C-alpha cells in the first residue's frame, strides 16, 4: 500500500482493494477486481456499495 491509497473491502467480492486516500462521499470508483462501479457511502470508516445503475430520466 502506498501513502496515497487506503485499503478497504470490495462489497461485491469481499476482497481487499486499494482506493485513493482522498475519496469523497458520493464518488464513484471502479473496482480493480470486478470492474464494477462502486460508490463511496462513508469515509470514516471507508464504506463502499455497488453503485446503482443510472435510470432513464422520465422527466424529459
Residue 39: inside a domain, yes or no?
Answer: yes
Indicate the pLDDT class of residue 56, thresholds 50, 70 and 90: low
Distance from C-alpha of 14 to C-alpha of 60, rounded to nearest angstrom: 39
pLDDT of 50 reads 95
Residue 10 belongs to domain with CATH number: 2.20.28.160
Tell me if 13 is assigned to some domain: yes
Phi, psi of 46 (to 5 degrees): -65, 130
| Total count of domains within the chain | 1
| pTM: predicted TM-score of the whole model, two decimal places | 0.80
Is position 45 within any domain? Answer: yes
Cell of 59: 422527466
Question: What tens digit of pLDDT does each residue of 1-50 get?
Answer: 557 999 999 999 999 999 999 999 999 999 999 999 999 999 999 999 99
Rg (CA), the chain: 13
Supply the range of the domain harboring residue 23: 5-50
Higher pLDDT, 18 or 53: 18
Output b/e per residue, 20-44; b: 16+ Cβ within 10 A: eeebeeebebebeeeeeebbbeeee
Residue 55 counted as domain residue: no
Amino acid at each position: 500500500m502506498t501513502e496515497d491509497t487506503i485499503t478497504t473491502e470490495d462489497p461485491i467480492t469481499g476482497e481487499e482493494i486499494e482506493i485513493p486516500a482522498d475519496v469523497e462521499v458520493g464518488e464513484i470508483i471502479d473496482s480493480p477486481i470486478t470492474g464494477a462501479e462502486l460508490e463511496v457511502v462513508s469515509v470514516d470508516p471507508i464504506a463502499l456499495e455497488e453503485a446503482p445503475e443510472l435510470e432513464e430520466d422520465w422527466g424529459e
